[in-house]
Homo-oligomer: A and B are copies of this chain.
């Protein structure tokens, strides 16, 4: 079954110990889509400005994405500028220009409103809520956010979580929103806000997953990557592989979730091996499968 993703399509400028790149195609929805497209048809809902290079539109279309709800508005495309130092575990944001994102009201077609798999990637919770209200029959809704919204729109975010199946957060966000120091306690507390499941991304330390109804806790290491070039978008790529697999398998049981976590992990491992979408945009399902086998061999016995 197809999936609809709301988020940002951005122009990212990034500096890492391995080099710098300017105005790369990026954003939460773009990174998500590169992984999710390997499993299912992806409908992208985002906004760009009139400065958005036409070649990027062609690029995204060539990746098989449905761009009918990618709006282009007068003004500037959302831009992010950041730097990674040392072990590349956390980004230092140098500059953010919202541009057209500040006036974004997502529009989707009548046909798209019937899509059952929905991912609300990181963007203002009001925009996430705006889209979710339009959807006719959500069956699996994932949501990602960020510290900025946890701090400035906590109430709106917590209200929105009541309608979410899977809340996806990194470890710091999970601790901040739950106000718990232990990640398992954090996951349980976050589930008490509404989500049935919580997925905590720990970067190079892998992921922790908790399901409220069964009490299942799953934990996977990261795929070991020796040379991390640019981690920008790794979390969104993870979410794309995870949600993409669940949308394709059309069932959410414990085996499907463990496989989805593994696909997300493997997709994210490709993402960090080069700048922006360089690696993930060239990936094939066979690349994912091959690395999945290697990944399983890191821990299966």
Contacts and interface: CB of A to CB of B under 8 A. Distances in A.
A300 B300 contact: yes
A226 B300 contact: no
A161 B214 CA distance: 47
A209 to B, nearest CB: 9
Nearest to A294: B217
A182 B226 contact: yes
Interface residues of A, number: 32
A298 B219 contact: yes
A224 interface: yes
Contact of A301 (B184, B205, B208, B255): B255
A87 interface: yes
Number of copies: 2
Given A205-B202, A206-B206, A206-B221, A228 B182 contact: yes
B299 A220 contact: yes
Contact of A224 (B217, B298, B299): B217
Interface in A44-98: 86-87
Given A205-B202, A258-B299, A301-B259, A184 B224 contact: yes
B181 A226 contact: no
A182 B87 contact: yes
Nearest to A202: B205
B220 A221 contact: yes
A222 interface: yes
A253 to B, nearest CB: 11
A262 interface: yes
A185 interface: yes
A104 interface: no
Contacts of A181: 86-87
Given A219-B222, A299-B218, A205 B205 contact: yes
14 contacts: A86-B181, A182-B226, A184-B224, A184-B226, A185-B226, A202-B205, A206-B206, A206-B219, A208-B224, A218-B298, A258-B301, A296-B301, A299-B299, A300-B300
Interface of A: 86-87, 181-185, 202, 204-206, 208, 217-222, 224-228, 255, 258-259, 262, 296, 298-301
